[in-house]
Amino acid sequence: MSRIVIISNRLPVTIKKEHNSLIYYPSAGGLATGLNSLDSSLDKIWIGWPGQEIQEEQEQKAVQEDLKKSGLIPVFLTNEDTELYYEGFSNKVVWPHFHYFTQYTTYRDDYWEAYQRVNRKFADVVIPQLRDDDLVWVHDYQLMLLPAMIRAAFPKISIGFFLHIPFPSYEIFRILPWREAILDGLLGADQIGFHTFNYMRHFLSAAYRISGYEHNFGKLKVGNRLVNVDVFPMGIDYETYAHPKLDDSTITEDVKYIETLAKDRRLIISIDRLDYTKGIPQRVKAFAQFVRNHPEYHRKVSLVMIVVPSRANVDQYKELKQEIDTVAGELNSTYGSFVWTPIKYFYRSLNFRELTTLYRLADVAMITPLRDGMNLVAKEYIASKEDNKQGVLILSEMAGASNELLEAILINPQDMNEIEAALVEALEMPLEEQRTRLESMQEKLKKYDVRHWANTFMNEQRKLMESQLITQTNILNEAEQGKLIAAYKNAKKRLIVLDYDGTLMNFDPDPQAVVPDEALLHILTTLQNTENNKLIVSSGRDRETLQTWLGAIGMDFAAEHGVWMKRGGNWKKPAGITAAWKPQIRTVLENLVERTPGSFIEEKQYSIAWHYRRIDKDLGEKRVREFRDVLRYLTANLDLQVLEGNKVVEIKNAGVNKGKAILNWLNDDEYDFILAIGDDHTDEDTFRAMPETAYTIKVGLAKTDAHYNLLSVEQVREMLEKLIA
């Protein structure tokens, strides 16, 4: 049976040393809840750091044995590891940078070296545990190098990765000195998940602009694999907050105080971990502006602000706390009285009973991070209103949750006036409108809870694994290549049809730069000079270029997608082909070049092409969309065809294609071995023209009418070398 292997920086339990004993504390976080709800028919193991340096070998063995009973496997890290890898690279490089606080990004080589070293430590623990049919799921920004490390040891295993924080725009991400290594690490996964479409879009942009991987509807071709990049917004354990299981033993003095406070005045709540991404000072300043401008709410409204301690020994966090203390203190000292304090400020965490009581009784939740991957507090607040249907959520549009909670009052967290207006709107919102908004959000949160998130990710990864296996069955593997070579050797008369660009030579931004090398000339010369072989190069290239580069070999050609054919030493073209239409089309393309520096026109005798290999892919595709309809209008009555290829658009005479051209050779003779290889959609006409017994091969993993796939030009050349050996 397949297993799910979960890997995260922390295990769902934390070990602490107390009185020379190891104490295990379970985690009640959303990740643990979601992953524990996965398909019970699958075995699960979870690998991660237990939260404590454990150096003694005997203690390590004891911990391993204890955790093994719960399907947990520890990765032991030293204090130096956690200081440099976790506090260092993860939280002083990745965290600020991915949240757009580049002024806090620390560029230190020792941090990066530790990050690589600890990811390798994880790999060294993970790899011995794995089996080929496992589903591996790696979590979050601390382990972005791990997927590629696992892939190197298990090339065919299914690996998923989920990023729980934002992925920044390309312009931000590209600043990192280690950007390519991070992308290479992530692209070791088969499926990469993000909370929002924007994060997904930013990742795809970086993968293309930095590493050159183009995507097709979120799928990237990386080596011999398809990598699926998609959106999986994380939910919460809805029922836990909608109907919390509580008893009287959990009623503390603080719980009673919250209940009393809520009877005296309306409560606005603000709950965050201490972090510069949360926008706490801006929120307090906006509330101060509200208090200053709306005296009618004095003594009627209080902001209950919970700030959970975090990284208190880091300078940036010390300064942040000092700023929050100052602005909150100034507001209270200016407007507070013996009977009213505008802000009830608590620098500590709450237990579950206190938290849910605050959620349930609060009139307004003000959640205004400057940047947040998701923000589950907003979702917990909405779920807690399941019974009374009263309450309003003010939510930052910079939080990932804003893409789902559209019925909240969405604000720009830097706009004090907008937050002030939102507070007034929230406090004055009619109860019926509150109910309508809450019910709409609650329906979504019930359906798309944390269990749905976890199961959807795993189900998509499982489907992807199955589709990868199907794709692999079409690859021309060694066994099938052996059959092809044997058929070639035993044949009495052979026809071999080869495309050029993308098949025999890799693409280049300059089309004239792909002159055949000596190795290719040797392959083609040998094929041409082998008795009973008919060799044809069928290309979109013009005949002059093909003649110059390959003419000395003596093979036949189909040039310009079949407009020109060289058979028996003579170039011929079909009757009725004309170039009278070209000046009209050229005018359109010249205008396009003027507006798109870096693009260029390639003119052939009976076709004309606009290339955008040298420019930004998105800009090129935008231009294609702009003039596609113009071209179709112009070509409608001219019997022309518009072909969209790999960063090129070509206009040629209709009714002429590679398949029709190849029929001239197929009708000439009887062949007992036929081989056709090509890489783009123009070669599909060739594949369709071939008899069923032909060996047809598509270069790449795109959908094709060919019988087989090879993955690259290099693989094509290797196979042809075997053919002539």
Other Cβ atoms within 10 Å of 94 Cβ, number: 22
Distance of CA 81 to the CA centre of its chain: 28
Backbone angles phi, psi at 547, to 5 degrees: -65, -40
CB 519 within 8 Å of CB 717: yes
Torsion angle of C-alpha atoms 494, 720, 681, 534, degrees rounded to 10 = -20
CB 505 within 8 Å of CB 720: no
Q: Which residues are catalytic?
A: 499
CB 553 within 8 Å of CB 599: no
Q: Is 375 left (phi over 0), alpha (psi -120 to 50) or beta?
A: left
Is residue 15 helix, strand or coil?
Answer: strand
What 587-594 contacts at long range (C-beta under 8 Å, 24+ apart), as own/partner pairs, is 588/627, 588/630, 588/631, 588/634, 592/623, 592/627
Question: Residue 572 to residues 288, 495, 543, 551, 577: CA-CA distances in angstroms?
Answer: 84, 20, 11, 15, 11
Range list of H helices, 340-449: 352-361, 376-383, 416-428, 431-447
What b/e readout covers 342-367, taking b as 16+ CB neighbours within 10 angstroms?
bbbbeeeebeebbbbbbbbbbbbbbb
Burial of 310: CB neighbours in 10 Å, binned 0-12, 13-18, 19+: middle
CA distance 592 to 590: 5
**Strands, E assignment, 84-152:** 135-139
Q: Which residues contact 689 (CB under 8 A, 6 or more apart)?
A: 658, 659, 660, 662, 663, 666
Q: Token pair for residue 466?
A: 């199955």
